[in-house]
């Protein structure tokens, strides 16, 4: 009977201009018809209430109601309705963007107050400006909505508004699920990292702010969709508001319960979970599947048309599947170079004594012979994929040729061991290159150490810096007997800062080898390089002073890092100008793609502090693949390493003059010699 009554009312009401009054009137009239009609047939209903006037009277409306409902005066045209909603939509975007940005600045304010950073006042001022802008837009948005509170719409405009209301309502339900899931996952992930003890407080703070977008984007979507739903429902009362609110509450409760349960399982099983990030990826995929099932089955109770299939959506779904599938494929570990690695023999080298201090994280190497030989390699750039296999093989063969030629006591790699950008290698994987090179060095039997480069932990890489740090620890000296990677690290910026003490056969301290992380990117833009921070410099200075105090003299030291200091650029410019403030030893700067010297725009105190202490006599870096010059400036030798790269730079595979390494020979008195070894000089 209810269906007959709806069909009967539709005969008289469906073609009328829409208004909130008519929407409410229809609900009342249909209820009255149910009470009055009983088991009447359609013909009997028409006989009793066969006009709009009779239906209005049945609902208790005044005599002029029917005429008012029929009236088409002052109805806005569809183009005008679309234009008005477009402006309101842009205002909603502004409000939704400004509030999360203001929240970010407020969080920065709190953090800077805690750390004593004077930028706290600047952050607070920016937050207030953004909040003010958001409230101005919101005030204008609400004013327009009040003006349209009692608007009437023609059939064409109503149908368009109904579709929009449907669209925004569906997006709002998904936005609630997304935000609650993002908040709980983000919060749980940050707390897990904070309590594991594997990360330093500065790294935790940096990661918190760099990952905050995972919450800010869903927050933007929720605010935007909230405003759009209210905008649409202010014009047409669809979907039915109370029922829709119940669905919103249900989605919020379900999402919160699901992710709290997932977090609880993480706590219970954390010792058995091999990868928490993989666990959250799987639980997120399952959550998405449950939300999809809700969208298919339950959401239709509050929508006019639950799903709309069109070419654009099919294309979008196909694109997402291709991207997800492609990313998954490009993030896989592949070991195509392993047969070559397994074929390599042990390289004869001195049998030095290596010890590790569990309390300080310092490795000590006691030389078996008078001279200690270090081979410096940089920018190896392994892709770790089938696509990069040939170039990975060439890179490893080049490393083997240099190691076999020099027979070093130690190999130091100054960053960019891997290249997980997916551009030249078709891979985002940064674990396979690490495993491959560690296996390569373990087979050769030569000890090695490593500083991070900017490409080793790219944002798109399969492993973040904590996960990669765990891999390096698992491959370090206790298991491999070759990789000198510290199990504990100083409380300072950086993914790895370490000191290796070189001692003579009699136990006397010879040289300190500092491996310092030059960090990757500042996050201020694309390829804005980071620098060696003040707390890293303070750690370095403290270790120099400790060694000096132990030895009762100034102990020589060397520093290895990836991105050049600004003094590399200064020395180069002085050399180009013919200045006698620098001394030239060998090599050239052939970089042309970006700058001759691609250093950070942020100055580091490292060089000036090293000059003050008088301990460090040499610094080594990589990063600029075609630069290999060695200059002395203000008493410190600044040397670019010859790169190995066959992969990252376009056309570099066919270039040969820049490829090679440097052999550092340290004598018992701490003096040293440096020889540049082009690969062409030993392979022809």
**DSSP symbols for 84-120:** HHHHHHHHHHHHHHHHHHHHHHHHHHHHHHHHT-TTH
Write the burial class of residue 324 (CB in 10 Å: 0-12 exposed, 13-18 middle, 19+ buried): exposed
Q: What pLDDT was estimated at residue 152?
A: 86
Neighbours of 299 (CB within 10 A): 20
pLDDT tens-digit profile of 66-105?
888 888 888 888 999 899 999 999 999 999 999 999 998 8
Answer whether 517's CB lies under 8 Å from 493's CB. Answer: yes
Q: Does 262 score more than 70 pLDDT?
A: yes
Q: Is 193 left (phi over 0), alpha (psi -120 to 50) or beta?
A: alpha
Neighbours of 270 (CB within 10 A): 13
Per-residue pLDDT averaged across 411-422, rounded?
Answer: 91
Distances (CA, A) of 300 to 69, 221, 309: 29, 22, 15
Q: What pLDDT was estimated at residue 524?
A: 67
Question: Residue 199: which pLDDT band, with cuts at 50, 70 and 90?
Answer: very low
Tokens of 287: 């959550």
Mean pLDDT of the chain: 87
Q: What pLDDT was estimated at residue 358?
A: 93
Answer whether 17's CB lies under 8 Å from 72's CB. Answer: yes
How many CA atoms, within 13 angstroms, populate the side-chain half-sphere of residue 30? 19
Number of helices followed by number of strands (H, E) in the chain: 22, 14
Q: What pLDDT was estimated at residue 554?
A: 97
Domain boundaries, the chain: 2-70, 78-308, 338-683
* Closest C-alpha to 563, from 597, 586, 593, 587: 597
Question: Residue 198: which pLDDT band, with cuts at 50, 70 and 90?
Answer: very low
Q: What pLDDT was estimated at residue 531?
A: 95
pLDDT tens-digit profile of 620-651?
999 999 999 999 999 999 999 999 999 988 88
Per-residue pLDDT averaged across 34-56, rounded?
Answer: 76
Q: Does 504 score more than 80 pLDDT?
A: yes
Three-state secondary-structure class, residue 535:
helix
Greater model confidence, 336 or 600? 600
Could you give the angle at the alpha carbon of 644 between the alpha carbons of 571 and 656, nearest 5°? 85
Question: Residue 332: which pLDDT band, with cuts at 50, 70 and 90?
Answer: low
Q: What pLDDT was estimated at residue 526?
A: 66
Question: Residue 313: which pLDDT band, with cuts at 50, 70 and 90?
Answer: low
Answer whether 626's CB lies under 8 Å from 589's CB. Answer: yes
Share of the chain above pLDDT 70, in %: 91
Share of the chain above pLDDT 90, in %: 51
Q: Does 31 score more than 50 pLDDT?
A: yes
pLDDT tens-digit profile of 392-409?
999 999 999 999 999 999
Give the full edge-to-edge strand order of the sheet including 616-621. Answer: 353-356, 363-366, 498-503, 509-515, 557-560, 616-621, 636-640, 630-633, 582-586
Question: Residue 40: which pLDDT band, with cuts at 50, 70 and 90?
Answer: low
Greater model confidence, 472 or 118? 472
Tokens of 205: 């703070």
* Closest C-alpha to 416, from 226, 216, 587, 648: 648
Q: Does 574 score more than 90 pLDDT?
A: yes
Whole-model pTM: value is: 0.64
Q: What pLDDT was estimated at residue 176?
A: 93
Q: Does 357 score more than 90 pLDDT?
A: yes
* Closest C-alpha to 222, from 100, 384, 57, 111: 100
Q: Does 329 score more than 80 pLDDT?
A: no
Q: What pLDDT was estimated at residue 301?
A: 85
Question: Residue 318: which pLDDT band, with cuts at 50, 70 and 90?
Answer: confident
Per-residue pLDDT averaged across 482-489, rounded?
Answer: 94
Query: Long-range contacts for 189-192 (Cβ within 8 Å, ≥24 apart)?
Result: 189/276, 189/280, 192/266, 192/270, 192/276
Per-residue pLDDT averaged across 137-161, rounded?
Answer: 88
**Gap between the Cα atoms of 352 and 506, Å rounded:** 13
Which CATH class, in words, describes the domain spanning 338-683?
Answer: alpha beta
Per-residue pLDDT averaged across 255-261, rounded?
Answer: 90
Which stretch of 246-250, 355-359, 527-531, 632-636 has the lowest confidence by average pLDDT? Answer: 527-531
Q: Does 337 score more than 90 pLDDT?
A: no
Greater model confidence, 620 or 198? 620
Q: What pLDDT was estimated at residue 330?
A: 54
Q: Does 196 score more than 60 pLDDT?
A: no
**Gap between the Cα atoms of 167 and 679, Å rounded:** 63
Q: Does 197 score more than 50 pLDDT?
A: no
Compute CA 403 distance to the chain's CA centroid, rounded to the nearest angstrom.
36
Strands 636-640 and 616-621: parallel
Cis peptide leading into residue 494 (ω within 30°) = no
Question: Residue 580: which pLDDT band, with cuts at 50, 70 and 90?
Answer: very high
Q: Does 548 score more than 70 pLDDT?
A: yes
DSSP 589: B
Greater model confidence, 327 or 417? 417
């Amino acid at each position: 009977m209810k269906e007959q009554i709806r069909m009967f009312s539709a005969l008289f009401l469906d073609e009328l201009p829409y208004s909130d009054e008519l929407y409410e009137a229809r609900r009342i009239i249909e209820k009255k018809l149910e009470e009055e009609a009983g088991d009447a047939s359609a013909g009997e209903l028409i006989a009793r209430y066969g006009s709009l006037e009779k239906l209005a009277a049945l609902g208790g409306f005044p005599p002029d109601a029917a005429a008012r409902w029929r009236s088409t005066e002052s109805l806005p045209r569809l183009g005008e309705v679309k234009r008005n909603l477009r402006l309101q939509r842009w205002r909603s975007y502004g409000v939704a963007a400004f509030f999360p940005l203001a929240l970010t600045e407020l969080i920065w304010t709190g953090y800077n107050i805690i750390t004593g950073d004077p930028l706290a006042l600047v952050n607070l001022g920016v937050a207030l400006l953004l909040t003010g802008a958001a409230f101005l837009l919101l005030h204008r948005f609400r004013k327009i909505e009040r003006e349209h509170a009692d608007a009437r719409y023609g059939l064409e405009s109503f149908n368009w508004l109904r579709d929009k209301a449907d669209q925004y309502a569906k997006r709002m339900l998904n936005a609630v699920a997304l935000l609650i899931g993002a908040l709980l996952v983000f919060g749980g992930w940050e707390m897990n990292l904070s309590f594991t003890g594997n990360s330093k407080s500065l790294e935790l703070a940096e990661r918190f702010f760099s990952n905050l977008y995972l919450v800010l984007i869903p927050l933007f979507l929720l605010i935007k969709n909230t405003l759009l739903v209210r905008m649409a429902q202010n014009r047409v009362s669809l979907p039915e508001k109370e029922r829709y609110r119940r669905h919103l509450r249900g989605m919020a409760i379900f999402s919160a319960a699901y992710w709290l349960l997932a977090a609880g399982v993480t706590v219970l099983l954390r010792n058995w979970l091999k990868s928490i990030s993989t666990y959250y990826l799987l639980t997120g995929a399952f959550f998405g599947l449950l939300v999809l099932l809700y969208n298919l089955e339950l959401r239709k109770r509050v929508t006019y048309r639950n799903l709309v299939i069109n070419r654009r959506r099919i294309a979008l779904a196909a694109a997402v599947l291709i991207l997800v599938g492609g990313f998954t494929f490009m993030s896989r570990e592949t070991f195509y170079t392993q047969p070559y690695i397994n074929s390599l023999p042990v390289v004869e080298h001195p049998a030095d004594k290596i010890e590790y201090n569990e309390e300080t994280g310092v490795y000590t190497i006691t030389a078996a012979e008078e001279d200690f030989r270090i081979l410096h390699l940089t920018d190896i750039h392994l892709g770790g994929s089938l696509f990069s296999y040939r170039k990975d093989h060439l890179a490893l063969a080049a490393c083997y040729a240099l190691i076999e030629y020099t027979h070093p006591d130690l190999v130091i790699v100054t960053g960019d061991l891997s290249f997980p950008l997916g551009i030249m290698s078709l891979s985002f994987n940064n674990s396979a290159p690490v495993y491959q090179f560690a296996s390569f060095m373990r087979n050769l039997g030569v000890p090695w150490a490593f500083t991070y480069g900017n490409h080793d932990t790219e944002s798109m890489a399969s492993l973040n810096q904590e996960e990669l740090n765990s891999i390096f620890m698992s491959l370090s000296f206790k298991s491999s007997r070759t990789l000198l990677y510290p199990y504990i690290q100083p409380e300072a910026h950086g993914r790895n800062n370490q000191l290796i003490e070189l001692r003579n056969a009699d136990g006397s301290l010879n040289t300190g080898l500092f491996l310092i992380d030059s960090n990757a990117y500042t996050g201020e833009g694309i390829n804005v390089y980071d620098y060696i921070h003040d707390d890293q410099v303070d750690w370095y200075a403290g270790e120099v002073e400790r060694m000096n105090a132990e030895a009762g003299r100034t102990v020589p030291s060397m520093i290895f890092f990836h991105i050049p200091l600004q003094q590399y650029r200064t020395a180069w410019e002085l050399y180009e100008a013919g200045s006698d403030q620098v001394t030239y030893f060998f090599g050239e700067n052939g970089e042309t793609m970006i700058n001759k010297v691609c250093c950070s725009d942020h100055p580091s105190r490292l060089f000036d502090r090293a000059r003050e202490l008088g301990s460090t006599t040499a610094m080594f870096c990589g990063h600029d693949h075609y630069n290999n010059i060695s200059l002395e400036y203000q008493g410190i030798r600044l040397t670019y390493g010859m790169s190995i790269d066959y992969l990252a730079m376009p056309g570099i595979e066919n270039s040969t003059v820049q490829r090679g390494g440097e052999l550092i020979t340290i004598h018992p008195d701490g003096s040293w010699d440096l020889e540049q070894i082009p690969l062409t000089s030993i392979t022809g």
